[in-house]
Amino acid sequence: MSDRSDLLITADELAAALNAADGRRVRLLDVRWRLDAPDGRPAYLAGHIPGAVYVDLDMQLAKKGDARQGRHPLPPIEQFERDARAWGIDDGDRVVVYDDLGNMSAARAWWLLRYGGFHDVRMLDGGLRAWLASGRELESGPVHPAPGTVSLSYGHLPVVSMDEALHVAHHGILLDARAPERYRGETEPIDPRAGHIPGARNTPTTANVDESGRFLDAGSLRERFEAAGVTEDIQVATYCGSGVTAAHNAAALMIAGLRPALYPGSWSQWSQHADRPVATGDEPAEDEQHDVLRGE
């Protein structure tokens, strides 16, 4: 079971690790991306934590192709390992990821590295804002590290498929990490159908952090997810629009002491399949969930 120190690092802790004399190198990954501004490279070039390498979420943390797989299907392991080596990562390194969005995008890199078997990776709690608030400087321009030699293999964190996600929704707890208005189907800015997977419960990922973008404490997160029906003895999985912020929800669940699965295809895959049921409105009552399960 993970705790906060396994997943997160503070700005002060990062600065100390960068200056540590233990011989272990820290590789920094800048994963700035957002739905309305997917190319974070200009912001990265203008100023980033010294030594950080830019990671292109769309091109390096996903593999675009058939729309029926979703907007951000997982990249093939060969591609991901090649890119991780291009970021300069060796097997014995420490890796710290960050963004300027409360780790909403950086969590994708954190989760994918963990899924690939690289365990010494943490998110900078509070992201770039926390680094700047600590009084530390940025540098500009690109960073081109020497190629690394890291070896990766998928399967080190639990995932669910499209079929398994619906099963979890009715036999466990499936959490939808999107904004409430998208969950309810009131608006859908990018995917072909509005609504949510029947039986899913809404826990917007933005509520995982405080005003500064730092994750809430374990107890507060635990209370939040327990209010949605999550317990230690029930299967839980999470999804979002395309599998990006679902990784943030997964991290919050792990901080709370739980072991979630992630549905990588998320709503962007589900909504592409006309044969898949869609629910709208607020969370269904328990009897309505069972009606959907029976196909009524």
Count of CB atoms within 10 A of residue 133's CB?
A: 12
Catalytic residues: 240
Residue with tokens 């291009």: 86
| Helix, strand, coil share of the chain (percent; to 5) | 35, 15, 50
Which of 230, 217, 246, 227 lies closest to 103 in space, CA to CA?
Answer: 246
What is the rounded CA–CA span in Å between residue 141 and residue 239?
Answer: 35
CA–centroid distance for 59 within its chain: 16
Strand ordering across the sheet containing 236-239: 201-202, 173-176, 236-239, 261-262
Which of 11, 213, 181 lies closest to 107 in space, CA to CA?
Answer: 213
Tokens standing for 186? Answer: 């009131």
The answer to whether 45 and 141 have CB atoms below 8 angstroms apart is: yes
